[in-house]
Chains A and B, each alone.
Chain A
Amino acid sequence: MIDDSKPIFIQIAELIENDIVSGVLAEEAQVPSTNEFAAFYRINPATAAKGINRLVEDGLLYKKRGIGMFVTEGAPQRLREQRREKFQQQFITPLTAEASKLGIGINELVAMIKTSSDT
């Protein structure tokens, strides 16, 4: 779940974003507390707080004083749009690079994608 590739607070933010995009965390749903995240992922509470605060600053979560953190209305849609923009770089580029390594031509690649979408 948590690895060495990048700062943990970024990974925490991304995990929560994933849950928002997938619908596991619905709009207006409550997000676990900082201490709950820290205990669950076995990380420093300050790090968990940093990840959550990042999402608050981005407007994806908001705080209800004395109660906790909640998913902002419209957050799922906003995140989906952000991810569409990154899709090319994150998925298409490695795909074409690997296909090129293996000698898979563009037509074959398109056929493979179509097969994959049909199943």
Chain B
Amino acid sequence: MTQATAIAIRDLTKTYKDLKALDNINLDLEPNRIYGLLGRNGAGKTTLMSILTGQNFQDHGTVQVFGHEPFENDATLARICFIRESQKYPDDFKVHQAFAAASLFFENWDQHLAQELMKEFDLPAKRKIKKLSRGQLSAVGVIIGLASRAEITFFDEPYLGLDAVARQIFYDRLVADFAEHPRTIVLSSHLIDEVANLLEHVIVIDKGQIVIDADAEELRGAAVTVTGDAAKVQEFVGTAKVLHRDALGALASVTIESQLDAGRREQAKLMGLDLSPVSLQQFVVRSSLSSASERVDEKSEAWS
């Protein structure tokens, strides 16, 4: 029997004192895709991932990973790899020993890949983990994440310690290995534009709620920034949903959530307006702020 979804989340809520870290989350993750889990600091990303990996448990709702609750479920947990920035290793472990330990835990472990990656990241196999630089420590985490070949692998911002060159090595290796060995990968990152092209599906969390749950390709081109004479911009924008406005004298720049067909594009050109694309990062940033202001409006309505 084939599993329809890899992860099924229903009505998930987690509260800390009076703060709802996760507020009624509903989500389905299909197998063998690269997901982006994006959001601000404190939005709930890490809380969600720690519940999915059995390190924390929910106050309300259900989580099913391959059809089972992950909490205290060793069989399910063995199929998951969770790499986070503050990864802790036994104090005196050397790099190669950390990999040896990982190889025992993950049945799909590829030692050959781990060794190739060690060379690419310039990681000294015999050095003690506690003596590694920040970048080298991040590389250890990233290598374990890739070489584990776990059916579900979460990367929770483990590449913040990596420099730009090392991050590019990671992205390239990730794409290549994913192509050869498809599995479910969840990338959580602040560096949205860097990972944007690798993602197949985008999930954005803001203040414990899902604000975007969409195919990456649908988001690309879903918004556009219209710049030009303020009055003409307003005429062109009409009733389209506005994500952001900027003004500079008589000039206006408005970002709208709208897909423009060839006819509309031609109209903009004839009106002397400039159309510029909106990157995924910009779209996510604008959507978060936009939804925040909507919630503020809801609250003020509740008070009146």
Name the segment of B3-11, B97-105, B107-115, B170-178 touching the other chain: B170-178
Tell me which of B176, B180, B217, B278 has the highest count of chain A C-beta atoms within 10 A of its own C-beta.
Answer: B217
Complex partner residue of A39 from B176, B199, B220, B272, CB under 8 angstroms: B176
- Chain B residue with minimal CB distance to A45? B179
Cβ contact within 8 Å between B220 and A44: no
Cβ contact within 8 Å between A4 and B200: no
Q: Is the C-beta of B270 less than 8 angstroms from some C-beta in chain A? A: yes
Count contacts on B: residues with CB < 8 A to the other chain.
Answer: 27
**CA gap between A75 and B89 in the complex, in Å:** 57
Indicate whether A4 sits within 8 Å of B279 (C-beta atoms), given known contacts A42-B172, A94-B269: yes
For chain A, residues 1 to 50, give those with C-beta under 8 angstroms from any C-beta of chain B: 2-9, 34-35, 38-39, 41-47, 50
Cβ contact within 8 Å between A35 and B197: no
Cβ contact within 8 Å between A93 and B269: yes
Q: Is the C-beta of A117 less than 8 angstroms from some C-beta in chain B? A: no
Complex partner residue of B220 from A4, A38, A42, A93, CB under 8 angstroms: A4
Q: Chain B interface secondary structure, helix, strand, loop or mixed?
A: helix
Q: Is the C-beta of B262 less than 8 angstroms from some C-beta in chain A? A: yes
* B interface footprint on A38-64 (CB within 8 Å = 1, 0 otherwise): 110111111100100000000000000
Residues of chain B within 8 A (CB-CB) of A46 are 33, 200
**CA gap between A3 and B278 in the complex, in Å:** 10
Complex partner residue of B175 from A6, A43, A93, CB under 8 angstroms: A43
Residues of chain B within 8 A (CB-CB) of A4 are 220-221, 277-280
Residues of chain A within 8 A (CB-CB) of B216 are 44, 47
Q: Is the C-beta of A110 less than 8 angstroms from some C-beta in chain B? A: no
Q: Is the C-beta of B34 less than 8 angstroms from some C-beta in chain A? A: yes
Residues of chain A within 8 A (CB-CB) of B180 are 35
Indicate whether A97 sits within 8 Å of B270 (C-beta atoms), given known contacts A8-B217, A47-B217, A50-B217: yes
Cβ contact within 8 Å between A41 and B197: yes
Cβ contact within 8 Å between A43 and B198: yes
Residues of chain A within 8 A (CB-CB) of B262 are 89
Q: Is the C-beta of B59 less than 8 angstroms from some C-beta in chain A? A: no
For chain B, residues 267 to 281, give those with C-beta under 8 angstroms from any C-beta of chain A: 269-270, 272, 277-280
**CA gap between A93 and B279 in the complex, in Å:** 26
What's the minimum C-beta distance from B95 to chain A, rounded to whole angstroms?
27
Residues of chain B within 8 A (CB-CB) of A34 are 179
What's the minimum C-beta distance from B62 to chain A, rounded to whole angstroms?
28
Cβ contact within 8 Å between A3 and B197: no
What's the minimum C-beta distance from A90 to chain B, rounded to whole angstroms?
8
Cβ contact within 8 Å between B266 and A89: yes
Complex partner residue of B197 from A6, A44, A50, CB under 8 angstroms: A44
**CA gap between A57 and B157 in the complex, in Å:** 39
Q: Which 10 A-B pairs have the closest CB atoms?
A: A5-B277, A4-B277, A7-B217, A35-B179, A6-B221, A45-B179, A4-B279, A43-B197, A7-B220, A44-B200
Interface residue ranges, B against A (CB under 8 Å): 33-34, 171-172, 175-176, 178-180, 197-200, 216-218, 220-221, 262, 266, 269-270, 272, 277-280
13 new A-B contacts at CB < 8 Å, known A8-B197, A45-B178, A47-B200? A4-B277, A4-B278, A6-B220, A7-B221, A9-B217, A35-B176, A39-B179, A41-B197, A42-B172, A44-B216, A47-B216, A94-B269, A101-B272
